[in-house]
Every structure is written in structure tokens, then in C-alpha cells.
Structure 1
Amino acid sequence: MMTNLFSIFDPSTSIFNMNLNWLSTFMGLIILPMIFWLIPSRLFMILNIILKTLHSEFKVLIGNNYSYGTTFMFMTLFFFILCNNFLGLFPYIFTSTSHMMMNLSIALPMWFTFMIFGWLNNTQHMFTHLVPQGTPSLLMSFMVLIETISNVIRPLTLAVRLMANMIAGHLLITLLSSMNLTSSLSLSSILILVMILLMTLETAVSLIQAYVFTILSTLYSSEVI
């Protein structure tokens, strides 16, 4: 029995005091059959089309400073988050992207690397980002403060956005399923239909949030180059 509503997100499954729920992060690689990597299939062709689309889009976002191999990092990030989001939709599988620790461990090192690269290699360019073009002289110091704060909280906003969207749908489904246990037959059928629609919505949210996280990361990287 749940002690509270948010206990469904607790990494509670353990053997010898080792939390096994976090192993779900690597389940996407485990469940793929070996033949997927060796022989082209329909799934591989769909994946290849998605990769080409993402590559062309990320290449445009990075702009003129694009170098070979840059987009592969963001494509890997997209599929890693997407895989974890989808796995969380299955029963009894831990949703690692619903935890702030997991999301910050992705966003914070990436943002920190961008900042180090930008300030060491393009110092003047980084200073120009602190004062938007056309800012009055009286507001320059104020704008520097605002831009600095908005830049510092970027990894936090990336992590919170992904976490909140993953938690929201799971909580709604959990609430409806708990109502279904004590409801009548007619109400149960309505609740089941609503939960099916919510699962469809959650599938779309899993894809969209992985895309949003990756696109914003790409935009942040393009500002420091």
C-alpha cells in the first residue's frame, strides 16, 4: 500500500541494499535484439529516418559553426531520454526521468561544459550575450543581472520541465486507477477509457519532452560557439 501519492516514484526495489530501479535506465539497450544491429529491419529504417531528420534540424540550429560529429551527441541524448520516458509507461518499470537527480545529472554537466568552452574560447562573444542589442545605457547593469540569472538557472529549468511533465501524467493515471477500485461498473468503463486516452497523451508527451530537452540543449550550445 502506498504511504503517499508520490511513493510510486520511489526507487524502492532493492536486493542487498542496492536500488535496482535505476537499472531501468539501461533496459532500452538490453531488450533490443542483437539482430537489430546486424540486419536492417523496418524498425531500423524508421530509426534511420528519425536520425536523419534530427541531424538536419540540429545542424540548422547550430548554424555556421557546425563541425562533423556535433549532432551525434544531441541525437544520443534524444534517444536516451526518449527510451527512459517510454519505459516509464510500462507497469512496474521505474521512471528515472521523473527524478530531479537523474535530470540534473544530464543537464548540469552539459551546461557546465558549454560555459567553460564559451568563456575560454569566445570570451567577448559571451560578454555580448549579457547585454542584448539596443539596450539603453541606464538598463545595461540591470540586464546583465537578468541575463546572468537566466543563464545560471538553465540546467534547473531543463531538469524541472522534464521531471514535472513525466510526473503529471503518471499521477493522473494513478489517481484514476485508485478511483476505479471503488467505483461502479458504468463509472469504471468511463475511467478506463479516460486512462487509455491519458496513456496516449503520455506517449506523445514522452516524445515531445525528449525533443524539447534536446532542442533547448542544442540552442544553448549554439550560443557559446
Structure 2
Amino acid sequence: MMTNLFSSFDPTSNFYISMNWMSTFLGLMFIPISIWFIPSRLTFLWNTIIMNLHKEFKILISNKKSQGSTIIMISLFLMILFNNFLGLFPYIFTSTSHLIFSLTLSLPLWLSFMIYGWINNTTNMLAHLVPQGTPPILMPFMVCIETISNIIRPGTLAIRLTANMIAGHLLMTLLGNTGSTLNFYMINLLIIVQILLLILESAVAIIQSYVFSVLTTLYSSEMN
């Protein structure tokens, strides 16, 4: 039994199973093997999504030497998307609502971008610390501000994804717990509100995975 509302996000509280993190890989199990061999409408939709993402990330990167990195960003988008949608199903652990998961994605990517940028494009990285048109008197302050904004980037990426996942799930849980105290008409209204919230959460799942991958692509484009 959960001790508090936030226990629903505890990896060890759901039926006391310590392997809840295995839900991160459930998305791969839901994809039938035949999708890779037999052309279908699902395959066409899959390819259309991937090609559109490739075109958009290609424009954001805008560097011919880094075009292959769009595959990494598309894989990142699909992985987060799968985990966000799996969290909408009952009794499935939502891994994207944890900073451990989101920081594991954002921190290594940001660190690799920083190391690559400072080693290969040191002049360009120093130029990013002082925006164009900054008055000379404000340059020391702008260097401090830009440095801090660069350092907190992986944290903001991770917290944005985690907070959006937690907020929707908590709201649905709070409303769902009031069902036993409502009359017949209010329960019908509650069901309609829960369906609308579920549709909203589905949209948030797509938007947050897209925002995470786009911002990561933008950060990588600054290193070139």
C-alpha cells in the first residue's frame, strides 16, 4: 500500500517489484518483428515520421559533417516517446518521470558536446559566451550568465521532461482518488474529465519527446 501520493513514482512501491525499470525496454517488445520485413501502412507511417524528423534535425544541425547525428536524435525522440506513452497505461512504471532516467540521457550528450566543442572549436565556443552586439561594459556579466546557462542545460532538459510527466500523472491520480466519494452524475463528469486529461497527456508525451530531442540538436549545432 502506498504511503503517500508520490509513492506511485517509487520504483520499489508498485507491488514491491524491484525490476520496474525494465519497463524502459517494453516499447521494443511491442514492435512486431514482421514490421521490419513486410511493408504495411504502419511501416509507411513509421518511415514518414522518421524522414520528417531527419529533415528537421538536418536543418537544425546545418553541418554536412554531422548529418549522421540525426539518427541519434531520432532514436532519442522515439525512446522518450515510447516511455512517455507506456506511462499512460495502468500498472506500468513511468521511467521518464524520474531524474535518474532523464539525466542519464541529457548529461552524457551535453558533456560530449562540450568536450568536442572546446577541443575542436575553442574560438567558436568562446564567441558564444559573448552575444553579438553586447556593450563592452556588460561583457564580464554576459560571460558569467552564458557560462551558467551552459552548465544548467542538462538539468533544465531533465527537469522539463520529468516535471511534465509527473504533473499530468499526479492530476489524474488526484481526480481518480475522488471517484469513490462522488455520486452517479459526478462520476460521469469525472470520467469525461479523465478522458480529456488522457488525451492531453498523450499530446504532452509527444511534445516533450520532441522538445527534448530538438533542444539537444540545437545544443549540438552550437558546437560546430
Scaled to the shorter chain, the TM-score interval is: over 0.9
Secondary structure of the residue aligned to 2:32 is coil
Residues 47-92 of structure 1: per-residue CA shift (max 9 Å, x gap): 1000010000000001134534121000000000000000000000
2:203 alignment counterpart = 204
* Closer, same or farther: CA 82–62 of 1 in aligned 2, 3 Å: same
* Closer, same or farther: CA 142–18 of 1 in aligned 2, 3 Å: same
Secondary structure of the residue aligned to 2:134 is coil
> Any runs of at least 4 consecutive aligned residues in structure 1 with deviations exceeding 6 A, and if so which?
none
Residues 6-35 of structure 1: per-residue CA shift (max 9 Å, x gap): 1111112689x9721100000011121111
2:142 alignment counterpart = 143
1:4 alignment counterpart = 4
- Indicate if the aligned counterparts of 1:180 and 1:191 stay in contact, CA closer than 8 A: yes
1:79 alignment counterpart = 78
2:191 alignment counterpart = 192
Matches within 5 A, 1:45-194: 45-194=44-193
Separation of aligned partners in 1, 2:65 and 2:11: 40
- Indicate if the aligned counterparts of 1:13 and 1:20 stay in contact, CA closer than 8 A: no
2:28 alignment counterpart = 29
Secondary structure of the residue aligned to 2:131 is coil
How far residue 44 of structure 1 moved from its aligned partner, in angstroms, is 1.2
How far residue 182 of structure 1 moved from its aligned partner, in angstroms, is 1.4
Separation of aligned partners in 1, 2:212 and 2:171: 23
Secondary structure of the residue aligned to 2:11 is coil
Residues 125-184 of structure 1: per-residue CA shift (max 9 Å, x gap): 000000011111111111000000000000000000000000011001100110011111
Identity of aligned residues (%): 59
- Indicate if the aligned counterparts of 2:61 and 2:67 stay in contact, CA closer than 8 A: no
Secondary structure of the residue aligned to 2:181 is coil
Deviates more, 1:33-42 or 1:127-136: 33-42
How large is the RMSD of aligned CA atoms in angstroms?
A: 1.5
Matches within 5 A, 1:10-21: 10-12=10-12, 19-21=18-20
How far residue 120 of structure 1 moved from its aligned partner, in angstroms, is 0.3
Segments of 5+ residues of structure 1 without an aligned counterpart are none
How far residue 43 of structure 1 moved from its aligned partner, in angstroms, is 1.2
Aligned length in residues:
224
Residues 84-143 of structure 1: per-residue CA shift (max 9 Å, x gap): 000000000000000001000000000000000000000000000000111111111110
- Indicate if the aligned counterparts of 2:179 and 2:190 stay in contact, CA closer than 8 A: yes
Separation of aligned partners in 1, 2:41 and 2:89: 23
Length-normalised TM-score, structure 1:
0.96
Length-normalised TM-score, structure 2:
0.97
- Indicate if the aligned counterparts of 2:2 and 2:13 stay in contact, CA closer than 8 A: no
* Closer, same or farther: CA 14–208 of 1 in aligned 2, 3 Å: closer
